[in-house]
Amino acid sequence: MLLLHCPLLLLLLPLGSRPQKFPTRDEELFQMQIRDKAFFHDTSVIPDGAEISSYLFRDTPKRYFFVVEEDNTPLAVTVTPCDAPLEWKLSVQELPEEASGEGSGDPEPLEQQKQQITSEEGTELFSYKGNDVEYFVSSSSPSGLYQLDLLSTEKDTHFKVYATTTPESDQPYPELPYDPRIDVTSLGRTTVTLAWKPSPTASLLKQPIQYCIVINKEHNFKSLCAVEAKLSSDDAFMMAPKPGLDFSPFDFAHFGFPADNNSGKERGFLKPSKFGRQTFSKPRVDLHKVCIGNKNIFTVSDLKPDTQYYFDMFAVNTNTNMSTAYVGTFARTKEEAKQKTVELKDGKVTDVFIKRKGAKFLRFAPVSSHQKVTFSVHSCLDAVQFQVRRDGKLLLSQSVEGVRQFQLRGKAKAKYLIRLKGSKKGASMLKILATTRPNKQSFPSLPEDTRIKAFDKLRTCSSVTVAWLGTQERNKFCIYKREVDDNYNEEQKRREQNQCLGPDTRKKSEKVLCKYFHSQNIQKAVTTETIRGLQPGKSYLLDVYVIGHGGHSVKYQSKLVKTRKFC
């Protein structure tokens, strides 16, 4: 059995005195002491069957003791380095014959135990140097005073020690399967799927085991202790995900993605559970740990393309909180698919469709020398991000909603690369025109305000009167009406706000009239129109289209009106 003792350097049992019988973990006193964490704090005692955590200063050795009272006792000692390699040695000294008998069970005072110190060096049983989790195991150990010496020559570091005289029955560390490797079963540009065989501790012994995944871009880890040491300044530990939910454990600013400081935001990283991660005030590390219950297959997502990641898996016994590392693996995500570049022709309108959160690249290479380049962009739905680079240099980056026109200074033999990034809300549609001819304008000019105003006091049972703004440029305006149900709402109207759909998509019966209009005084560029022949108490959706000289049209914001029911 493994016995406790408390000297700080070396220990001599007093010769000629009655030997102390150290409390074992089966005795009430030991149970009291093991519950009192302060009893073992910063002492040189290794308790039987309990893992201790401690700290080493660089180049400052530390020594621990324990006593094995009987010969042929099984013994197992495990040393876990955390964030630095360790040098450690286990040795044993024989107990004096006078100390081998049965004791009274009453512990001697600690100061009395320190009265005599031996100068003898014990017999070395085992030594190791490195950062692996290393074990000394013996099925038949002699009785004696055992001492464990530890040293860190690299830096101050944490470590853990576990010793037991009943290794067969204890089994605090989860057992690894016969094949302890992590397999990469699927690899994509932003995803990696991992699978591993379950721990026999869970499948055969039915002990509560959960698996914790660690992802980083630097190297594999040999212990969970090493992971915790790395994460000591970044509280990145997660709760187990709830079954059936998508899972989003952390912010991928660490992996090249934009930071999002909202802890409640969903940023899918591991599946199939989703929840937000807390934000931190301390500097973050490129390392993340999440415990995912007893699943043995998981998909890591939202990774950066063409990047190497290291994956480690730890089986954790939730009863003892002690863990065992699987053999880690690494994988490089696939390269980002190369975007096809659309060639723009001078003076020709090009239609572009962009998926939600997607991007499109266009290229404009004028065939002749030019003084200016004009880009006209018509975003049909939500706003899009519009960027222009000339020969690799960023010239323009703006959000575009509705119709916008940009004019840049030209350069001989220049090539322009246009990047269009879609909306987060949904797919984007737009029309784009690039030209070196400043008078070539396919899109009509628009006022800043494209709303249609309805006059409630002029509303009758059969007509409504509306007004809209124009510009100093003479354009053709066409107004259309469509009867809608009374439950037609703003959400339905929003879905129909594709400004690129022109009058040619409307029924002839919906057309009210077309007219030309402009004003040199922009303050007076307002026109009104009364729509007649409507039914009492009915709702109508009104649309105004402005048509440019090139034949392209832009739709104003739709207006929902309703005639009076009684007049």
pLDDT along the chain (567 residues), means of 10: 38 33 43 42 74 90 89 91 90 69 44 42 88 89 90 91 86 89 92 93 83 92 88 49 37 36 38 37 66 91 90 91 92 82 88 86 86 87 88 89 85 88 84 82 81 93 94 90 83 70 89 90 89 93 88 86 91
Quick check: 137 and 76 in contact, CB under 8 A?
yes
Name 38's Cβ contacts closer than 8 Å, sequence gap at least 6. none
Q: Kindly report the CATH class assigned to 173-235+285-336.
A: mainly beta
End-to-end CA distance of the chain: 103
* CB neighbours of residue 466 within 10 Å: 19
Quick check: 149 and 88 in contact, CB under 8 A?
yes
Q: What are phi and psi of 491, to 5 degrees?
A: -65, -40
- Pick from 236, 237, 239: nearest CA to 280: 236
- Specify the pLDDT at position 115: 38
Which residue in this structure is represented by tokens 């305006």? 477
- Specify the pLDDT at position 320: 84
Distances (CA, A) of 551 to 247, 368, 477, 502, 546: 50, 26, 12, 10, 10
- Specify the pLDDT at position 262: 40
- Pick from 544, 534, 541: nearest CA to 564: 534
Residue 505, amino acid: T
* CB neighbours of residue 6 within 10 Å: 18
Question: What is the rounded CA–CA span in Å between residue 279 and residue 251?
Answer: 8
- Specify the pLDDT at position 98: 52
Residue 182, amino acid: I
Question: What is the rounded CA–CA span in Å between residue 314 and residue 83?
Answer: 17
Give the E-state strand segments of 235-371 in sequence order. 270-271, 287-291, 297-300, 308-317, 322-325, 329-332, 341-343, 349-354, 359-364
Does 173-235+285-336 match 452-562 in CATH topology? yes
- Pick from 51, 65, 66, 10: nearest CA to 159: 51
Angle at 207 between CA 204 and CA 212, to 5 degrees: 105
- Specify the pLDDT at position 1: 44
- Is the domain spanning 342-435 CATH 2.60.120.680? The answer is yes
Domain ranges in the chain are 50-95+123-170, 173-235+285-336, 342-435, 452-562
- Specify the pLDDT at position 15: 32
- Specify the pLDDT at position 475: 87
CATH topology of domain 50-95+123-170: Jelly Rolls (2.60.120)
- Specify the pLDDT at position 411: 84
Angle at 503 between CA 502 and CA 507, to 5 degrees: 130
- Is the domain spanning 452-562 CATH 2.60.40.10? The answer is yes
Task: Identify any residues that bridge with 425 across adjacent strands, giving them in sequence order.
Answer: none
- Specify the pLDDT at position 331: 93
Question: What is the rounded CA–CA span in Å between residue 475 and residue 84?
Answer: 76
- Specify the pLDDT at position 159: 92
- Specify the pLDDT at position 96: 64
